[in-house]
Chain A
Amino acid sequence: EAGVAQSPRYKIIEKRQSVAFWCNPISGHATLYWYQQILGQGPKLLIQFQNNGVVDDSQLPKDRFSAERLKGVDSTLKIQPAKLEDSAVYLCASSLAGSHEQYFGPGTRLTVT
């Protein structure tokens, strides 16, 4: 069974530029999560989707971050404009609807200079 796929794996941008990350969840997984993991910290949820609807985006900085999950499968997370403090690993996870078991992708490491 293929796991959660993410791209790119690494990205370096300058502050005030924009960037987008892509996630393809495990086939059949209705729930998709984006987490931000700052160096030295545990992952923090940014947004949770159930199919193509948003369940929880309470910790998403909506002035600069946006996310969508068109057709309830793939998802993109965008940052515009990026700040230095956005440097982190962005993890995508997916799960079956109602399941507690989340499967994580390898992450995208973003460096903002």
Chain B
Amino acid sequence: AQSVTQPDIHITVSEGASLELRCNYSYGATPYLFWYVQSPGQGLQLLLKYFSGDTLVQGIKGFEAEFKRSQSSFNLRKPSVHWSDAAEYFCAVGPYNQGGKLIFGQGTELSVKP
């Protein structure tokens, strides 16, 4: 079965602290992996994506993610969190060989303490 698991429903970090959001996936074929961010009342914005090559990918807003095939994981990281990073973060997986349906995790809500 195809699925994405984000184990942490809610995370709170202090401004300036580092961040890691976890994502594990189950997918029958070579996956195309994504992280999206959703601010209140807004649609989803793509942070970064991975399908091949260097397993550490850089995205917008200072985010990066590391693909680990052996662990079926694609964790999102940021060295220093800003208050504006407070939002909901979604990991998603899609088919490798063409555009198509994305399967999303349930999301992780990030709160940032001053």
**Residue positions of A touching B, CB distance < 8 A:** 4, 31, 33, 40-45, 48, 55-56, 91, 93, 95-107
Contact = CB atoms under 8 A, between A and B. Distances in A.
B90 A106 contact: no
A101 B49 contact: yes
A31 B42 CA distance: 21
A42 B98 contact: no
Interface of B: 4, 32, 34, 36, 41-46, 49, 51, 90, 92, 94, 98-102, 104-107
Contacts, number: 59
Contacts of B98: 98
Given A41-B106, A42-B106, A97 B44 contact: no
Contacts of A106: 41-43
A5 to B, nearest CB: 11
A97 to B, nearest CB: 7
Contacts of A103: 46
Contact of B100 (A41, A43, A56, A104): A56
Contact of B99 (A31, A43, A44, A105): A31
A105 B43 contact: yes
A103 B94 CA distance: 14
A104 B99 contact: no
B27 to A, nearest CB: 14
